[in-house]
């Protein structure tokens, strides 16, 4: 099986931080993901929409495409995400990383948040449940947003997970998106604005200030 795939939007100059986007999927599927995947294409749209604001902050935006569509117990999807985190380090060194995940991507994110480069997780309409541990979020920041009309994943389960995460995370908060659904089509601008704002807020305390030029003598 081939490696996962990365779509990379790098900021000009040296990256000060990275947003790593993780797309959704299915509970079980061995289907290989290609460019026709609806979940990956939705995440690509998100990546493109937030790239300019991220670049203004010196932050790159990379998108992982998993090897298979399904969660399938999580081991392989976690391996895909850890492969991508290694790729970030190979390209940019030890920059702080926020994992920005939609649906199953948010589930992948909380399973690999213990990576040393990760400073936080931002989940959009997350697929979280009582089965998902919070230990990997120790010392990290968790931000989540969920709509009340989501019929695919549960606002209540997200709220329960965030409450559990507060016992170990630096901070953990849930943003109520109101009468919005799962796929982030209706209200897309609101989703995109919140996603990039939350990601940059998580990074803000970890990104070094740009070096100022020495004063003229």
Q: What is the mean pLDDT of the chain?
A: 94
pLDDT at residue 103 greater than cutoff 70: yes
pLDDT at residue 212 greater than cutoff 90: no
Q: Could you write out the three-class secondary structure of the chain?
A: CCCCEEEEECCCCCCCEEEEEECCCECCCCCECCCCCHHHHHHHHHHHHHHHHHHHCCEEEEEEECCECECCCCHHHHHHHHHHHHHHHHHHCCCCEEEEEECHHHHHHHHHCCCCCEEEEEEECCCCCCCCCCHHHCCCEEEEEECCCCCCCCHHHHHHHHHHHCCCCCEEEEEECCCCCCCCCCCHHHHHHHHHHHHHHHHHCCCCCCCCCCCCC
Question: For residue 209, what pLDDT band results from cuts at 50, 70 and 90?
Answer: low
Give mean pLDDT, residues 97-122.
Answer: 98
In CATH terms, is domain 5-203 a member of 1.10.490.10?
A: no
pLDDT value of position 2: 75
State pLDDT tens for residues 3-59: 899 999 999 888 999 999 999 999 999 999 998 999 999 999 999 999 999 999 999
State pLDDT tens for residues 63-100: 999 999 999 999 999 999 999 999 999 999 999 999 99
């Amino acid at each position: 099986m081939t490696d996962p795939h990365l779509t990379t939007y790098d900021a000009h100059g040296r990256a000060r931080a990275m947003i790593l986007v993780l797309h959704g999927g299915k509970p079980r599927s061995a289907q290989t993901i290609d460019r026709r995947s609806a979940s990956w294409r939705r995440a690509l749209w998100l990546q493109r929409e937030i790239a300019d604001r991220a670049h203004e902050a010196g932050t790159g935006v990379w998108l992982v495409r998993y090897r298979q569509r399904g969660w399938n117990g999580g081991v392989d999807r976690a391996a895909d995400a850890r492969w991508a985190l290694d790729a970030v380090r190979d390209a940019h060194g030890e920059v702080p990383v926020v994992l920005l995940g939609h649906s199953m991507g948010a589930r992948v994110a909380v399973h690999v948040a213990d990576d040393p480069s990760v400073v936080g997780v931002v989940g959009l309409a997350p697929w979280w449940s009582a089965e998902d541990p919070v230990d990997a979020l120790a010392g990290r920041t968790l931000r989540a947003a969920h709509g009340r009309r989501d019929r695919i994943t549960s606002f209540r389960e997200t709220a329960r997970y965030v409450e559990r995460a507060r016992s170990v995370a630096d901070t953990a908060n849930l943003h109520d998106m109101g009468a919005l659904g799962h796929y982030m089509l209706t209200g897309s601008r609101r989703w995109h604005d919140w996603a990039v704002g939350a990601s940059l807020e998580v990074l803000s305390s970890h990104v070094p200030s740009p070096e100022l030029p020495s004063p003229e003598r």
